[in-house]
Amino acid sequence: MIESLKIWQHHGRQFIFDVSQVNLPEVFRGRPLISNATIDEDAAADLCPTGAILPRPMRIDMGKCIFCGECAWAFPEKFKFVNDYKTATNDRQRLVIAEENHTAVTLNPELVRAEIKKYFGNSLKLRQVSAGGENSNEMELNACSNVNFDMSRFGIDWVASPRHADGIVITGAISENMAEPLKICYEAVAHPKIVILAGTEAISGGIFAGSPALNRSFLDTIRIDLYVPGNPVHPLTFINGVLEMMRRSGL
């Protein structure tokens, strides 16, 4: 008994008590900041491997950004990334960060569906679909349920079957081979259903955008409830985004 208590004390508190107030290390690349310094905007745009840098006016699209850091290394006077991890939103336009915009990314309350609270309340079951993912996002989403992040304490759980799910979380750029299985999985979830895109590849295709091996047409036919940027997503970004989505609907 004494030994068990010593081990318990040695481990300390492993879970993050307040997931909305975590101070991540400075090296974490979260929300981008763009200064008003004058640079060669075309050179910056050409440098970006995914077309996330948009010139005149200068912007970074977090839905396309793979957070490689190349822009911040090449133009440190212009670009930097801060450790703000609360970057999920339900409004695709809010992922586009403009020059001199230092405000936090938030959800658009007008786009949150009332059914989210009405039907799911404090319990949300999600089915994750890896639609051509490379496992990094999938691993981070798995980590949401580990002892550190402990997402289930908020009533959010992963389930194995879409029949048991309230919504799906899509990762990966959606390869041609996964387009039909993804649609079948979506259709197996009862109405109303939540759709979350987790990670840059799911949001825009990432470095695979425009590849003939992708078939992303399914996304044009459904409503997206939450965009979670990151490459891969951070568990705190995902959990805070989902919690905010539920709160904004009146929780």
Tell me: does residue 68 bind ligand SF4 (CB under 6 A).
Answer: yes
Packing angle between helix 136-143 and helix 235-248, nearest 10 degrees? 60
Tell me: does residue 173 bind ligand SF4 (CB under 6 A).
Answer: no
Q: How far apart are CA 166 and CA 118, in angstroms?
A: 12
Residue 70 tokens, joined? 């190349």
Tell me: does residue 233 bind ligand SF4 (CB under 6 A).
Answer: no
Tell me: does residue 209 bind ligand SF4 (CB under 6 A).
Answer: no
Least distance in Å: CB of 202 to ligand SF4?
Answer: 16
Kindly tell me which of 45 and 251 has the beta carbon lying closer to ligand SF4.
45
**Helical H runs in 50-175?**
70-74, 115-120, 136-143
Contact pattern from residue 17 through residue 56 relative to ligand SF4, giving x for each residue in contact according to CB under 6 A and a dash for the rest: ------------------------------xxxx-xx---
Q: Which amino acid is at 130?
A: S
CB 251, CB 122: distance < 8 Å: yes
Tell me: does residue 228 bind ligand SF4 (CB under 6 A).
Answer: no
Least distance in Å: CB of 32 to ligand SF4?
Answer: 7
Least distance in Å: CB of 237 to ligand SF4?
Answer: 15
Q: How far apart are CA 84 and CA 238, in angstroms?
A: 13
Q: Which helix (H) or strand (E) holds 54?
A: strand 53-54
Least distance in Å: CB of 155 to ligand SF4?
Answer: 34
Kindly tell me which of 13 and 56 has the beta carbon lying closer to ligand SF4.
56
- Contact positions with ligand SF4 (CB under 6 A) in 79-138: none
Instruction: Report the residue from 22, 55, 70, 195 that binds ligand SF4 according to the rule CB under 6 A.
Output: 70
Least distance in Å: CB of 33 to ligand SF4?
Answer: 12
Least distance in Å: CB of 205 to ligand SF4?
Answer: 13
CB 54, CB 96: distance < 8 Å: yes
Least distance in Å: CB of 51 to ligand SF4?
Answer: 8
Task: Please work out, in degrees rounded to the nearest 5, the angle formed at the alpha carbon of residue 27 by the alpha carbons of 25 and 29.
Answer: 105
Instruction: Report the residue from 39, 59, 69, 164 that binds ligand SF4 according to the rule CB under 6 A.
Output: 69
Under 8 Å CB-to-CB from 12, ≥6 apart: which residues? Answer: none
Tell me: does residue 66 bind ligand SF4 (CB under 6 A).
Answer: yes
Kindly tell me which of 35 and 145 has the beta carbon lying closer to ligand SF4.
35
Tell me: does residue 71 bind ligand SF4 (CB under 6 A).
Answer: yes
Please state, in angstroms and as integers, the Cα–Cα distance from residue 222 to each residue in 80, 190, 234, following that order.
34, 14, 25
Sheet holding 167-171, edge to edge: 156-158, 124-130, 167-171, 194-198, 226-228
> Which residues are at the interface with ligand SF4 (CB under 6 A)?
47-50, 52-53, 60, 65-71
